[in-house]
């Protein structure tokens, strides 16, 4: 059974450094990663461009999903930067 990440440290870091988590997102390639982001109540981004990504299909649905770095970069340029 996969060990799920606890969002506690992530949320503490975001509160200390990023003004109560505003504008944060959690990037991951596994259901455990996406669940941790959901538990932390931040936008989740599922990625599937790594050579050994974990989830060919996510059972925990990320807010956004990208299959290439180029697509993710385009999203960032349009949405965040």
Model pLDDT for residues 31-79, shown as the tens digit of each residue: 999 999 999 888 999 998 888 767 678 999 999 999 999 999 998 888 7
- Asked, for residue 11, whether it belongs to a domain, the answer is no
Q: Report pTM.
A: 0.69
Taking the C-alpha atoms of residue 52 and residue 42, their distance in angstroms, rounded to an integer, is: 25
Domain membership of residue 5 (yes or no) is no
Helix (H, G, I), strand (E, B) or coil at 28: strand
Instruction: Residue 55: count other Cβ atoms within 10 Å of its Cβ.
Output: 19
Q: Residue 6 domain-assigned?
A: no
Question: Is residue 72 assigned to a domain?
Answer: yes
The pLDDT assigned to 65 comes to 94
Structure confidence by residue, pLDDT tens digits, 20-42? 445 788 899 999 999 999 998 88
């Amino acid at each position: 059974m996969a060990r799920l990440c606890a969002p506690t440290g992530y949320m503490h870091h975001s509160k200390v450094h990023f003004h109560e988590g505003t504008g944060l997102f959690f990037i991951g390639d596994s259901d455990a990663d996406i669940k941790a982001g959901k538990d932390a109540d931040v936008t989740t981004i599922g990625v599937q461009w790594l050579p050994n990504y974990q989830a060919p299909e996510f059972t925990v649905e990320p807010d956004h999903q990208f299959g290439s770095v180029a697509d993710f970069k385009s999203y960032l340029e349009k949405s965040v930067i």
